[in-house]
Chains A and B, each alone.
Chain A
Amino acid sequence: MPTMTFGRAINAGLRRAMDDDPKVVLMGEDIGKLGGVFRITDGLQKDFGAHRVLDTPLAEAGIMGTAVGLAYRGYRPVVEIQFDGFIYPAFDQIVCQVAKLHYRTQGAVKMPITIRVPFGGGIGSPEHHSESPEAYFTHTSGLRVVSVSNPQDAYTMIQQAIASDDPVLYFEPKRRYHVKGEVDEAAPPSSAMGDARVVVEGTDVTLVAYGPLVSTARDAAIAASDDGISVEVIDLRSLAPIDFRTVEASVRRTGRLVITHEAAQSGGLGAEIAASITERCFDYLEHAPVRVTGFDIPYPYSKLEFHHLPDLDRILDGVDRVLRRPNSLSALDADAAVQR
């Protein structure tokens, strides 16, 4: 089985999708000759032609709106948004058109558009290059939202996203682009795009992550096991809809839930997961769900970004907290309450 980087796996998946279906066209800024600023589309224009890999004018609304027109015409556009923070000019077209046209036309018009978004922080970039805007889109009905955490999923799920007749936002953890992993290009998908996956089995705490933090969560599980704590790590993979059955089944066994994401906390996906799991299995919970997330701040300048991003220690603190261990933030909260 070949080993390839995360970025190369997406490239291979795009190539396969373009081979399989002549209606697949790629659109974006600098994706042709340059191969994209992250080189994800490297070589594709050369091999498939400028008519299938379109360097577009620098206008995200324009890219998204013309993708809608191409979809009307029967194409399956794959749009690259260069950086997470550049998606907002396209927001209106995504929310008002891409997401709603199937509903508006009572199923007559399909919008099989895939929107690739390199997202998240940790690469030392200036403002607008490190954001996690996924909750805007998970809150919008008509869209599907996924985030990939490893090369094999990246390869498989980009093809599933393109094959989906519903529009899919495909969030790529840009700080993991250079991570290598085995990719079986011949194997059929081992699960549907919407299914979550248990990546580490455990019995004491359920730890839910997606995208860039799945590997951090896995590291946290290993570290916790040194303390005799058994953490079950779930990679959500799909953010809308979320496979709550998998999360619920785990929490019914562990009784404790920690959710981690880079995006800001309030109104974020962690809130949705905490609420939904509490609704579904309140009687099984030994502790309130705990969120370990980015702060409610604009993405900070790079020298402070690792204070903002959840890391292994903050995740472990969350694990301690749901276990009511004395060194956890819960204890700090109790002290603070006494002082107030």
Chain B
Amino acid sequence: MAQDEARPGSGSTSGDHGSGPASGTVHPGAAHEGADELVQLIDPHGVRHADVRYDELVADVDGPALRRLYEDMVVVRRIDAEATALQRQGELALWPPLLGQEAAQIGSGRALRADDFVFSSYRENGVAYCRGVDLTDILRVWRGNASSGWDPYSINMATPQVIIGAQSLHATGYAMGIIHDGADSVAVAYFGDGATSQGDVNEAMVFAASYQAPVIFFCQNNHWAISEPVGLQAHVPIARRAPGFGIPSVRVDGNDVLACLAVTREALARARAGGGPTFIEAVTYRMGPHTTADDPTRYRDPNELEDWAARDPLARLAALLDSLGLLDADYADSVKAKADATAATLREGCLAMPEPAPSDVFRHVYSEPNSWLDRQQDHYERYLASFAQASQEGSR
């Protein structure tokens, strides 16, 4: 259970100690005891704890696999830092950092199959990385060069959703389509603690339960919705809500990449077998601002950040690797080199991005000709052309 109660108003916080090997899964109709406990396989000190329920789900994760998860997290943190720097240097208009949420995103993202489909918010760049996104595509929106970065069907991941929680319904509808098709893929909706107040998220759970849709609601409870603490959104642990909809839920230590992988695998297996939706609350922490336009010092106690820095998702996996003799200096250097090279590629792609053409503003509003828009485009193009003509005439 939570032993480190946060200050009043920040509501339920994670219990990073003492949850031990207990199962955190709650099934509909089950008593609530256990619901608040976190599934944790690696503690903040990097110590691996045995878990009767979840160990078998990650039995294949050997030393090299742990290293791959570590590399992913280091690279994603480096991407995040580079994008933040690009914003500070004026190359991006805005950036929503994921700092602190690497384990939740990599652990869940690496559990997915290529034919699963992700519907995320704007902070899931770590998940996009797992899906194999082209790095430049991550930045298109934030540089203002496009209204979304990639073709969703190319990596089976919808582009970032800005309307809070709206994507939870899209994932549910997509999952209903999976049932129609007789397929065994799964749709995954990513959203934050703030989104759980939205009607869309609650309606999505109603629909998912009614149709037993193969969908996972992956809630990253990062404790803050811009300036509003999670206690303003939920008076009880968020995971407790799902059983009321008839959806099993689990609370997982969102800073433990192995535990996130395990609970996501369990939910995926349930969905693939026709067992319907699962709600996962990954308890983590947004260590940075909401976006680069935000200033958390106005609303957040610096001690809280310090507390969470002690549970850093990368540090604990590094500690585990070290204890296993898997974090020698050569390896650490190679990971850093890979991260730096990725950041360099990201920067290069950002700076080389072609400028959109003025007429692009009209493109793709409709897929078919539209007399209103075609007329406006025609007028505007002739208007722009008149300047070119005037400047030609002026130069004669």
Known: A102-B365, A104-B148, A108-B153. A73 touches B204 (CB 8 A): no
Does A189 count as interface, using CB distance less than 8 angstroms?
A: no
Q: Which of chain B's residues 157-198 have a Cβ closer than 8 Å to chain A? A: 158-159, 163, 166, 168-181, 187
Of the residues B146, B151, B176, contact of A70 by C-beta under 8 Å: B176
| Most A C-beta atoms less than 10 A away, residue of B152, B172, B365 | B365
Q: Is the CB of B366 within 8 A of A61?
A: no
Q: Which of chain B's residues 350-392 have a Cβ closer than 8 Å to chain A? A: 363-368, 370-373
Binds B, one of A90-98, A201-209, A221-229, A325-333: A90-98
Q: Which residues of A contact B371 (CB under 8 A)?
A: 194, 241, 243-245
Does A240 count as interface, using CB distance less than 8 angstroms?
A: yes
Least CB distance from B147 to A in Å reads 5
Q: Is the CB of B166 within 8 A of A108?
A: no
Does B71 count as interface, using CB distance less than 8 angstroms?
A: no
Least CB distance from A100 to B in Å reads 8
Least CB distance from B340 to A in Å reads 31
Q: Is the CB of B148 within 8 A of A69?
A: no
Q: Which residues of B contact A92 (CB under 8 A)?
A: 163, 166, 200
Of the residues A70, A75, A106, A110, contact of B363 by C-beta under 8 Å: A106
Q: Which residues of A contact B207 (CB under 8 A)?
A: 56-57, 59, 62, 66
Q: Is the CB of B368 within 8 A of A104?
A: no
Least CB distance from A5 to B in Å reads 30
Q: Which residues of A contact B153 (CB under 8 A)?
A: 108-109
Known: A66-B176, A241-B371. A97 touches B365 (CB 8 A): no
Q: Is the CB of B180 within 8 A of A51?
A: yes
Does A266 count as interface, using CB distance less than 8 angstroms?
A: no
Q: Is the CB of A142 within 8 A of B365?
A: yes
CA distance A71 to B153 in the complex (A): 13
Chain B interface mostly: helix
| Most A C-beta atoms less than 10 A away, residue of B152, B204, B207, B210 | B207
CA distance A141 to B376 in the complex (A): 13
Least CB distance from B78 to A in Å reads 28
Does B1 count as interface, using CB distance less than 8 angstroms?
A: no
Does B5 count as interface, using CB distance less than 8 angstroms?
A: no
Q: Which residues of B contact A107 (CB under 8 A)?
A: 363-364, 367
Q: Is the CB of B206 within 8 A of A65?
A: no
Q: Is the CB of A66 within 8 A of B159?
A: no
Does A72 count as interface, using CB distance less than 8 angstroms?
A: yes
Does A10 count as interface, using CB distance less than 8 angstroms?
A: no
Does B203 count as interface, using CB distance less than 8 angstroms?
A: yes
Known: A70-B174, A73-B173, A141-B365. A103 touches B166 (CB 8 A): no
Q: Which residues of A contact B63 (CB under 8 A)?
A: none
Does A264 count as interface, using CB distance less than 8 angstroms?
A: no
Q: Is the CB of A69 within 8 A of B367?
A: no
Q: Which residues of A contact B200 (CB under 8 A)?
A: 61-62, 65, 92-93
Known: A57-B206, A241-B371. A106 touches B364 (CB 8 A): yes
Q: Is the CB of A65 within 8 A of B169?
A: yes
Known: A61-B200, A65-B170, A103-B365. A72 touches B152 (CB 8 A): yes
Q: Is the CB of B366 within 8 A of A72?
A: no
Known: A59-B206, A67-B173, A72-B174. A241 touches B363 (CB 8 A): no
Q: Which residues of A contact B119 (CB under 8 A)?
A: 69
CA distance A93 to B206 in the complex (A): 17
Q: Which of chain B's residues 113-165 have a Cβ closer than 8 Å to chain A? A: 117, 119, 146-148, 151-153, 158-159, 163
Q: Which residues of A contact B199 (CB under 8 A)?
A: 59, 61, 89
Least CB distance from A242 to B in Å reads 8
CA distance A67 to B368 in the complex (A): 21
Q: Is the CB of B169 within 8 A of A105?
A: no
CA distance A8 to B368 in the complex (A): 29
Least CB distance from A243 to B in Å reads 7
Known: A57-B207, A70-B177. A108 touches B151 (CB 8 A): yes
Q: Which residues of A contact B152 (CB under 8 A)?
A: 72, 105, 108-109
Q: Of all chain A residues, which has the CB nearest B374?
A: A241
Q: Which residues of A contact B367 (CB under 8 A)?
A: 102, 107, 110, 165-166
Which 9 residue pairs across A and B have the least CB separation, nearest first?
A69-B173, A65-B169, A73-B177, A66-B173, A62-B203, A69-B174, A241-B372, A108-B151, A69-B170
Sample (15) of A-B pairs whose CB atoms are under 8 Å apart: A25-B180, A62-B204, A65-B168, A65-B169, A69-B119, A69-B175, A69-B176, A72-B117, A75-B177, A89-B199, A100-B147, A104-B148, A105-B152, A144-B366, A194-B371
- Please give 7 more A-B residue pairs, beta carbons under 8 A apart, in addition to A65-B200, A69-B119, A97-B163: A57-B203, A57-B210, A68-B170, A69-B171, A69-B172, A72-B177, A241-B371
